[in-house]
Structure formats: C-alpha cells, structure tokens
C-alpha cells in the first residue's frame, strides 16, 4: 500500500506530463517503475518492540556514531543491543530524503533547537547575541539533518592524538575504518589509496550547476591545486564530496541501522530520552529513560555507550554525577567522578559572504519549485534537488607550516534564502532586510563561507538544572582568544583574493557586491577594523561542536575518558 500511495501521489502531481510527446511519457513510466522498485527494495524499519529488562550493550543516541555502533555490535548474535533515541524515526520524511531541503529541518521538531548563552566577544549581530545550534533529533542524528558534506578530519589531528597517548587513533590506525565504510562513486578516486568501494556509505560530489567548475577555476587562478579533500593533503580546492545515493541523502541510519533492524538481538527505542546513567562502584550498570511520560529502568550487562554528541553526552554525564564536582554539588547531584565534563568546548565559526551574479548559473527558489526540477528528482533521481548546493570546498594554511589547515571555504551555489538566514543563521529582521535590499532584483548568486578551523578559544557547557528536559547552558566563548581574530583576518584576505579572480569577475561578482557592505560603515571599507566588526557581528556556527568529553590518557587532567 505504501508503494501504491507513493506512485498515486506522484502521478497526480505530474499528471500534465501525459500531455507531452510520447518519448516523455515513456521516460515518465520507466522512471516510475525504477522508483517503485527502489522503494519496494527498501524495507520499512522495525522499531518499538517491547523493551527487555536488560541488554548486554545500551547505546544512548542513534546519531551518526550510534547508528553505526548498533549495527556493528549486533553483528555478533551473542550480543543483545538496545539503541535509545530521544527523537522520532522519520528517515522516510521528504525533508530528510531530499538533499536540497537540509536547512528546512533546522528549528523543527527534528532539531534539538539549542542556543548559546549571549556571547561576550561575538554574535553581536545575531538575535540576543545568541548563536543557534542545530543538532539532529532523530534516527541518524546530524547525518539525517546536515548538509551531507563528507570531509574527514585532518590526518595530523589523528596523529597528534596518538602522540598524546590515545593509542589506536593515529591516521594509519583509523584509515582502514574510513575505507571499510566508504563506497566512492567518483571514477577518478576509485583507485586511490585513500578511498574504497563496497562500503555502506555512498560518497559522490554535490556538483549540479556550472558554479562548481567556476569555483575550481578561481582556485587555480589563486595559485592553488585541485585536490582530493580526503586524500594525502587537504590543502587546495575540491568539489565537495557528499553522502548521497540515488539522488537522496544517505544517513548512517539508512546505511547502517536499517539493514540491521530485523536482527532479533537489536532493539531500537525512539522517542525515548535517557535521563540518567546508573552507576555503582564506578561502573555504569544501566540507564533511566523517559518514554511516553513514563520513567523506565534498563540494565546493562556489559556497557553503556554514550553517543549523544558534544551537547547531550556531557549533559547526561553531569545529570548522572560525572563532571565538575563543584558544579554538581551546587545542583545537589551526588558526585561519582570529578572530571572536566563540559570543558574544552570548541566550535567552527563561519562568515557567510553573499554575492549576486549576472548569469543564470546558480539556483533560485523558482528553479527549485519548477516542474522540470521536480520531475528530474522524483522520477530520475537527478537535478538540483539531489544537492545541498555546497558544490565547492577549499583548505588553506595561513601559517605556512604545510601541516594544519586553519581556514576553510565552502562555496554555496545560491543566495541563502530568507528561511535559512532568519531561522537558522539567527540574523534579525533588520539585518536580513538590508541584505535583501542590497541584492535588489538579482535572484542569481552564491555565497562563500569562510570558516575558522583550529580555534584557540574554548567555551563550556553546564547544566541549567537537574531536569533532563532543560537545555544545558552553552557558552561557546567565540573569539575570546585574540589569535583567532588574527587568523580569521587572514582568512577574509584569502576570500578577497578568491573574489578578485578572473573566473569570479566574469560572472559579475567581486568583493564590492558583498551583502555585508551596508554594515559596519563606521569603519574604512575592507580595513582590518571593518572585517573585525563584520566577523564579531555576523560569524556564526557551522554546527561542529566538539571536545566536551575529551578523550586522553589517565594522566591527562583535561580528559574525560
């Protein structure tokens, strides 16, 4: 019945196709059969079986990591595994499946909807000086919710962790796991030592407009090489790799969890908020969770694994008595372990530089809504809806040590929509109105996201109360270290070089049509003070919080585990 309903909906939606020539009718029918086969071959997941009193492994958080862990651990039939997720299932939601709709998921019921506390050194142009932190609240977590960019961490970070005592975390140790999970569909990379085929996670590029080639040409004109951003060296420009398959998002829930759903030793409990880890004699023995307004206790025979990410995991640890002792005592929480949970918080800032262009290469709302675009996606699995529109990426080393990248670009092939800017960027109405007026009637354009990597500024996460339903207090403390601003200023100078290339000027763009120009007019245009004003007002999260439960050896006072 599900397949018939889907085909009926699409036939009704595209009935006018039958008025076209016979060739189009044939394409339409063939496309329908292909899509019907695809949906028939994708079984509905089996969830919500009655919970048992105990399991060998309890995994809290069915996000990017938790879905993979549940799949891997349940491969052993001797292991009983419970995967607990606070959000719903929703992997079949059109908002989730359609790559171009990624930002429509933010600030919805599928988003935790976190915000930082008002910032002291940044976010001055955002509502209440707060940064809106999106986190996926559903099966697949942020992999069901993000822009699907597949770029691995720097190999040098892995090696540094190993040198600091995290045995087994060097790049040569983790590369085999990257290779195991990947199915690269790019012919030029299939024989690379840094890529593989046959894994569960499909990787291709998000290239759907002529803008992707223009970004690459501009990079070469700056003097940078076109590279594999997941290869031997990230420095340079690349067409952005992405996790999509058959034109649709492929999250870890789709790639790993769904194929494992029918295993009798794996139970998945959605709409279930873990409220406490039960601890006895310094050992996790189970969890308490809230499901259908009821509190349920489930015991763990072997391990409790927290996969809630950089916000939910430290919150749950502190609620359970693991964290800074003074903070826990203030809230009356018995302390099981005095550890720096919630410290060392880091995040990447991005500055979204919008530009209009004089050619019709980029994507507009009208293009997205067009009949042809919807026909391409619904029946052929092609077209602009198969992309997040982040078509290009680049990495730079402003310190010239040829080791770590400290600035990154993403190139987005549209003028960010009102929904994206007001709802997700958290700009106020006046700011967005000024930016729209600056573009005038121009509908075509793109954005260069200048991203600060490796920030020295560190923030904290603390409990607001002992109520697990209360969001924690998140202080990103962005740009509190002045060295970060120095690096960011070098990043915007690289952006200016990019905008001054022949490839960019030929499409009618330059730094002179940056939509930030109506702002910070008290400073000399393009001066360091101008850019610092813009950055401190309008730089915002690119959704990469980390390090609140930092791993490290036992003798590392900043490590949690």
pLDDT digit string (tens) for 209-237? 999 999 999 999 999 999 999 999 899 99
Kindly state whether residue 67 falls inside one of the protein's structural domains.
Answer: no
pLDDT digit string (tens) for 541-553? 999 999 999 999 8
Q: Catalytic amino acids?
A: 544
Within this chain, do residues 10 and 109 fall inside the same structural domain, yes or no? no
pLDDT digit string (tens) for 70-120? 999 999 999 999 999 999 999 888 889 999 999 898 899 999 999 999 999
Q: What percent of the chain lies above the pLDDT cut of 70?
A: 91
Within this chain, do residues 35 and 118 fall inside the same structural domain, yes or no? no
Mean pLDDT of the region 121-132: 95
pLDDT of 423 strictly over 90:
no
Core vs surface per residue 168-180: b (16+ CB within 10 A) or e: ebbbeebbeebbe
pTM: 0.90
Question: Of 477, 479, 501, 503, whose CA–CA distance to 489 is shortest?
Answer: 479
Within this chain, do residues 426 and 489 fall inside the same structural domain, yes or no? yes
Pairing mode, strands 201-205 and 241-242: antiparallel
Element spanning 289, H or E: strand 283-291
Confidence of residue 330 (pLDDT cuts 50, 70, 90): very high
**Token pair recorded at residue 223:** 């003097």
Within this chain, do residues 6 and 111 fall inside the same structural domain, yes or no? no
Report how far apart, in Å, the C-alpha atoms of 101 and of each of 97, 207, 452, 495, 550 are.
8, 16, 25, 27, 33
**Token pair recorded at residue 424:** 């997700």
Helix-strand-coil percent breakdown of the chain, rounded to 5?
35, 20, 45
pLDDT digit string (tens) for 427-482? 988 888 899 899 888 899 999 999 999 999 999 999 999 999 999 999 999 999 99
Kindly state whether residue 101 falls inside one of the protein's structural domains.
Answer: yes
Mean pLDDT of the region 19-30: 40
Helix (H, G, I), strand (E, B) or coil at 111: strand
Please, where are the H alpha helices in 233-370? 252, 258-260, 309-319, 325-330, 365-369
| CATH number of the domain to which 431 belongs | 3.30.560.10
Within this chain, do residues 126 and 8 fall inside the same structural domain, yes or no? no
pLDDT digit string (tens) for 293-302? 899 999 999 9
Kindly state whether residue 476 falls inside one of the protein's structural domains.
Answer: yes
Numbers of helices and strands, H then E, in the chain: 18, 23
Identify which has the larger pLDDT, 418 or 64: 64
Answer for the pair 305, 58: CB distance below 8 angstroms, yes or no.
yes
Within this chain, do residues 17 and 133 fall inside the same structural domain, yes or no? no
Question: What is the tally of structural domains in the chain?
Answer: 2
Kindly state whether residue 116 falls inside one of the protein's structural domains.
Answer: yes
| Spatial separation of the C-alpha atoms in residues 242 and 240, rounded to whole Å | 6
Within this chain, do residues 34 and 111 fall inside the same structural domain, yes or no? no
| Spatial separation of the C-alpha atoms in residues 14 and 17, rounded to whole Å | 6
Answer for the pair 428, 294: CB distance below 8 angstroms, yes or no.
no
Kindly state whether residue 331 falls inside one of the protein's structural domains.
Answer: no
pLDDT of 497 strictly over 50:
yes
* Mean pLDDT rounded to a whole number for the chain: 90
Kindly state whether residue 521 falls inside one of the protein's structural domains.
Answer: yes
Would residue 325 be called left, alpha or beta, if left means φ above 0 and alpha means ψ between -120 and 50 degrees?
Answer: alpha
Identify which has the larger pLDDT, 387 or 22: 387
Kindly state whether residue 482 falls inside one of the protein's structural domains.
Answer: yes
Confidence of residue 46 (pLDDT cuts 50, 70, 90): low
| Spatial separation of the C-alpha atoms in residues 467 and 316, rounded to whole Å | 11
Question: pLDDT at position 21, please?
Answer: 36
Angle at 463 between CA 459 and CA 468, to 5 degrees: 135
Confidence of residue 47 (pLDDT cuts 50, 70, 90): low
Within this chain, do residues 7 and 112 fall inside the same structural domain, yes or no? no
Q: What percent of the chain lies above the pLDDT cut of 90?
A: 81
Confidence of residue 400 (pLDDT cuts 50, 70, 90): confident
Within this chain, do residues 25 and 99 fall inside the same structural domain, yes or no? no
Which residues are registered as beta bridge partners of 267?
A: 82
Please, where are the H alpha helices in 41-126? 66-73, 94-97
Within this chain, do residues 232 and 354 fall inside the same structural domain, yes or no? yes
Mean pLDDT of the region 322-331: 98
Question: pLDDT at position 17, please?
Answer: 34
Kindly state whether residue 265 falls inside one of the protein's structural domains.
Answer: no
Confidence of residue 48 (pLDDT cuts 50, 70, 90): low
Question: pLDDT at position 511, please?
Answer: 96
pLDDT digit string (tens) for 182-219? 999 998 999 999 999 999 999 999 899 999 999 999 99
Mean pLDDT of the region 123-135: 95
Domain that holds residue 29: 2-40
């Amino acid at each position: 019945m599900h397949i018939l309903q889907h085909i009926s909906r699409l036939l009704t939606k595209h009935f006018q196709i039958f008025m076209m020539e016979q060739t189009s009718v044939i394409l339409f029918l063939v496309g329908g059969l292909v899509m019907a086969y695809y949906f028939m071959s994708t079984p509905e997941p089996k969830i919500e079986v009655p919970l048992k009193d105990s399991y060998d492994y309890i995994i809290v958080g069915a996000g990017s990591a938790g879905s993979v862990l549940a799949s891997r651990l349940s491969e052993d039939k001797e292991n009983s595994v419970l995967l607990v997720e606070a959000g719903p299932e929703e992997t079949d939601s059109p908002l989730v499946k359609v790559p171009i709709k990624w930002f429509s998921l933010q600030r919805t019921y599928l988003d935790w909807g976190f915000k930082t506390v008002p910032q002291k050194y940044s976010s001055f142009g955002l509502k209440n000086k707060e940064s809106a932190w999106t986190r996926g609240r559903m099966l697949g977590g942020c992999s069901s919710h993000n822009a699907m960019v597949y770029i691995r961490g720097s190999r040098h970070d892995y090696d540094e962790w190993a040198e600091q005592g995290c045995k087994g975390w060097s790049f040569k140790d983790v590369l085999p796991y990257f290779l195991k999970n990947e199915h690269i569909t790019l012919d030029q990379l299939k024989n690379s030592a840094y890529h593989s085929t046959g894994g569960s996670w499909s990787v291709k590029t998000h290239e759907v407009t002529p803008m992707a080639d223009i970004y690459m040409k501009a990079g070469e004109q700056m003097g940078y090489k076109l590279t594999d951003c997941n290869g031997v060296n990230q420095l340079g420009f690349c067409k952005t790799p992405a996790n999509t398959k058959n034109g649709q998002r492929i999250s870890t829930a789709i790639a790993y969890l769904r194929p494992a759903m029918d295993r009798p030793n794996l139970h998945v409990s959605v709409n279930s908020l873990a409220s406490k880890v039960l601890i006895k004699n310094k050992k996790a023995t189970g969890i308490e969770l809230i499901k259908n307004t009821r509190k349920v206790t489930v015991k763990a025979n072997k391990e409790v694994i927290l996969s809630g990410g950089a916000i939910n995991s430290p919150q749950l640890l502190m609620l359970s008595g693991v964290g800074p002792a003074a903070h826990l005592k203030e809230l009356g929480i018995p302390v099981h372990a005095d550890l720096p949970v919630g410290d060392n918080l880091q995040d990447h800032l991005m500055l979204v530089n919008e530009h209009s262009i004089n050619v019709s290469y980029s994507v507009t709302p009208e293009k997205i809504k067009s009949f042809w675009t919807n026909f391409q996606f619904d029946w052929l699995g092609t077209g602009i809806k198969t992309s997040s529109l982040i078509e290009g990426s680049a990495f730079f080393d402003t310190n010239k040590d040829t080791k770590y990248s400290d600035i990154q670009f993403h190139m987005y092939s549209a003028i960010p929509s009102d929904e994206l800017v007001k709802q997700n960027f958290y700009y106020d109405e006046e700011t967005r109105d000024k930016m729209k007026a600056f573009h005038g009637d121009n509908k075509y354009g793109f954005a260069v996201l200048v991203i600060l990597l490796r920030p020295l500024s560190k923030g904290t996460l603390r409990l607001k109360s002992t109520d697990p339903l209360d969001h924690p207090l998140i202080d990103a403390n962005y740009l509190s270290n002045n060295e970060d601003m120095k690096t960011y200023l070098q990043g915007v100078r690289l952006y200016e070089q990019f905008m001054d290339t022949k490839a960019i000027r030929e499409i009618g763009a330059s730094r002179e049509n940056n939509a930030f120009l109506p702002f910070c007019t008290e400073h000399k245009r393009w001066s360091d003070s101008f850019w610092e004003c813009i950055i401190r007002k309008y730089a915002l999260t690119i959704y990469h919080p980390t390090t609140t439960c930092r791993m490290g050896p036992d003798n590392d006072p900043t490590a949690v585990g």
